[in-house]
Structure 1
C-alpha cells in the first residue's frame, strides 16, 4: 500500500528542505514527503496525486491552494495572526523541528484518520529482559539497536520505570511514551501519526523518549502495550522493534510471549543464578514455559567507559559490547 503524502510548501527553500530532511530521517515515517517552494509546482503535483497533509507558509497560501482537494492544511505562521486563515490549524514556523512536527502530527492524528496497512514482512519484535539488575541490559539494547539500524528500520522502546534518558541523551523531551500511551487510552485517533510526532533519532536508530514518572508506566495495561505493538507493526515502516523493560510493566510475560526472541543478559554469581531459577519456576507455574524456547541467555562482556551522555551511547558500538552484538547479529540475522 502507498503511504499518505505529506507536502511542505514554503518559498524559503532552505527551510522547506531542512524540514523535509528532518522528517525523512525518522525511519518509520508514515508519510511520503514532498517539498515545494512555489504554489505552481504544488498545484501541478496535487493535480495527479492525493495529498493527505499540507504544511504551507502564510506567504504561499492563496485561493489556488484552498481549491485543492487536500485532506488537511496546516498553516506555517511567522507570528502573524490572519483572520482570513482562521479556518485552518496554525503553528509557529520558527521553532525546533521536533516540536513543530509534534504539533502537526498531534493535530493530524486527532482527526481519527486510519492509514492503510502496509504490505511488508512481519515486524520482528525483540525483547531485552533480565530478572537480574545491573547487567548492561540497556547498554546492550542500545548497542544492538544502533547496529541493526544500519541496514534496517528499527524502533527502540524503553519501558522502564526510571530510564535516565534525559541525562543519557543530554536533552529534555517535550513528549514521551506516556503521551503515546495516553493517546491509546483515550482512543484519540491514529497512533502512527502521533508516534511520528514524538519519535527521536540516535543516528539511524529511532526511539520514543521513555516516561519521566514510574507511575505513568505502571498505569499502562498490558492490552495497551499490545495495541501499541500491533499499530506499529501494521501502519509504520519499521522492520524491527526492540523492547527494553522489566517486571514493573503490566503483563510483562504476555509481552515477552508477543516477541519473536528474548535476549536475557545474565551473570554467574550465586545470587544471579538464584534469580534466574526463580524466574524459570515462575514461567512454569504461570503457564509461560514456551518463553524458555525463545530466550537466549547472554553473558555480556565488560566494556570500557566511553564518557558521559550521548558520547557514551554513540561509542558503545566501537567497544567490546559492540563486537559482541555484531557477532550475535551475524549468527541470528546473517549480517552485521
Structure 2
C-alpha cells in the first residue's frame, strides 16, 4: 500500500533540498516525502494528491494551500510569522534537521489519531535483537550501540536501552525533553497513537534512532509485561523499523519474557572465574524455569578491549570504526554466509 504524503514547501531552494536529503535517510518515517520550492507547484500537486502532513514556510503560505484539505499543516517559522498563522502549530526553521523533524512528529502525534488504513504496517516481520549479559563492565551497551549504527547504514533500526542507569544524557552532552518514561505514560493511558508519539521523542546518531532511556531506575523496574507487550506490538506493526535492538539491563522484571521475544541474543562474556560462575548460574536458572529456548538463540561473545579514554561527545560515533566495530562487521559477515 502507498504511504501517506509528507510535503515540505520552502521558498529557500537549498534549505528545502537539504531537508529532503535528511528526510530520505530517515527510513522510519511512514511517509512518502515530496518537496516543493513554490506554493504554486505545491497547490498543483495537492489538487491531484491528498497531503497528510505539510511543513511549509510562513512566506509560502497562501489561501490556496489552506483550501487543499491537508490533514495537518505545520508552519516552518523563522521566529516571527503573521498573526493569521497562529492557528497552526509551528517549528523554528533554523535548528538542526533532527530537531525540526522531532518537533514536527510531536505536533503531528498530539492531534492525529492513528488510522490503521492510513498507516499500514510497512513489513510483516521485525528482526528483534537482544543484547544481554548477567555481567557488568562487559561492553554490552558499547556493543549494542556499535551494532545499531552499523546495521542502520542499510536498514531502519530502532535502539531501546532498558537499563536503570544508562548515562545517556551525560554521554551525549544534552538534556532530553522526553524519554522512555514518557512513552510508557502514553502506553498506560491506552493512547492509540504510540508510534507517532514515539516519533516525536526519537533521537539519532549515525542514522541509528533511539528513544532516550529512563532517568529514574524505578521507571524501568515498574513496567509490567502488558505495557512491554503493547509497546513492542505497536513498534512491530505500526512503525517502519526493520530492526529493533533491545539493550536489556538487570532492572526490568520481565527480562526473560523480553529475551523470549528476540530472534537472536548476543551475550558479551568475560573470561575470569567469577564471571564464568555468574554465567553458569544464569544458564542453570533458565533450565530450571524451562527457558532453554533462550539459550538456543544466544551467542556468547568475547569482545575486544575498547579504549574508553575518548570524550563522551565522540565516543558513540567512534565505536563504529574501533576494534569493536571491526569485530561486529566480521560477526555479521559470518552470519550472512
The one of 284, 288, 302 equivalent to 2:287 is: 284
Find the counterpart in structure 2 of residue 50 from structure 1: 50
Q: Counterpart in 1 of 2:326?
A: 323
- C-alpha separation in 2, matches of 1:177 and 1:16: 31
Q: Normalising by the residue count of structure 2, what TM-score does the alignment of the two structures yield? A: 0.90
Q: 1:333 to 1:154 in 2, by over 3 A?
A: farther
Q: Which residue number corresponds to residue 34 of structure 2?
A: 34
- How far does residue 254 in structure 1 lie from its aligned partner after superposition? 0.6
Please say if residues 265 and 299 of structure 1, whose CA atoms lie closer than 8 Å, have aligned partners that are also in contact.
yes
Structure 1 residue 15, shift from structure 2 partner = 3.1
Asked if 1:177 corresponds to 2:190, the answer is no
* 2:120 pairs with 1:117: yes
Matched, 1:105 2:105: yes
Matched residue SS, 1:198: coil
Which residue does the alignment assign to 1:17? 17
Map 1:64-213; keep pairs closer than 5 Å: 64-80=64-80, 82-110=82-110, 111-114=112-115, 115-120=118-123, 122-213=125-216
Moved more, 80-89 or 263-272: 80-89
Compute the displacement of 1:74 (Å): 1.9
Mapped to 1, the partners of 2:311 and 2:122 lie a distance apart of: 41
Give, in whole Å, the separation in 2 of the partners of 1:323 and 1:96.
30
**CA deviation map 1:229-267 (0-9, x unaligned):** 222222222221111011211311111101101111112
- Tell me the equivalent position of 2:247: 244
State how many pairs are aligned: 334
**For the residues of structure 2 that align with 1:208 and 1:215, how far apart are their CA atoms?**
17
- Superposition RMSD in Å: 2.2
Q: Post-superposition shift, 1:39?
A: 1.3
Contact 1:4 1:32 in 2 (8 A): yes
Distance in 1 between the 2:234 and 2:211 partners? 15
Cα separation, 2, equivalents of 1:215 and 1:123:
29
